[in-house]
Amino acid sequence: MAGANARRFFVGGNWKMNYSQAILEKVNDALGKTKDAEADIVCAPPALFIKDFVSSKPSHVQVAAQNCYHAKEGAFTGEISPEMLKEAGCTWVILGHSERRTLFNEDDEFLKKKIDYVLNKTDINVIACIGETLQERESGKTNEVVERQVKAYQEKIANNQYDRIVIAYEPVWAIGTGKVATPQQAQEVHDHLRKFIEKNTNGDIAKKVRIIYGGSVTGASCKELAQQADIDGFLVGGASLKPEFEQICKARQN
């Protein structure tokens, strides 16, 4: 299996429901210092402020949406289509984040519809999130849960579409809690996922697909996580709004 350095590092910043002009200026200042980072950097502001970010961000940074619906248009109050996101300047969308799954009851069947639409009706790329709860981990069901979630996505991903996919493993118990999976815990799951993906596709795809880690990643925890063979980057929450995001983007080279 190819080592981590064979895959380009990827860092996503999920701003969640946080925004102000001061935050935008602070984030853009930090992002300006990441131009020499050996990484793809993608930030996801709240939908209302995507255009603000597109017009002010450094040119090397890409833009994601935090969510989308599986239709171009129609009577879907409160939803946003992938086509609208593209027009606003997005090239990525986050799907299946644990907060969407737990707070808004998005299940695997619903997420299959979303990833199917995005990949086959648009050219938007996908950060596909998976992860287990604390109860599932303590019950020894981590591998079972992440396999089920990945398999649901894979049912709608053609082999030639994996270059448009980043898998984000985010243990639910480590999101916004300050808890971080140890580098060894994270690497074990990433390694298992890569082998599972190979089983359902082929060795070449498994070597190339990027699997990133999310869950209270900080400037303090990023360096050791980034050295693990199967951790290809991060999906960062709160720390993506702080100056330490620069350090996280450069975790591999530092």
CB 234 within 8 A of CB 175: no
Residue 109 known to be catalytic: no
Residue 87 known to be catalytic: no
CB 168 within 8 A of CB 193: no
Task: State both tokens at 38.
Answer: 């050996």
Cα–Cα distance measured from residue 229 to residue 119, given in angstroms and rounded to the nearest whole number: 28
Cα–Cα distance measured from residue 83 to residue 72, given in angstroms and rounded to the nearest whole number: 6
Beta bridge partners of 65: 93
How many angstroms separate the Cα of 110 from the Cα of each of 14, 100, 223, 252? 21, 11, 35, 35
CB 176 within 8 A of CB 131: no
Catalytic residue among 106, 132, 147, 170: 170
Nearest to 245 by CA among 43, 16, 90, 5: 43
Catalytic residue among 70, 97, 132, 244: 97
3-state helix, strand, coil in the chain (%, to 5): 45, 15, 40
What positions carry a catalytic annotation? 97, 170
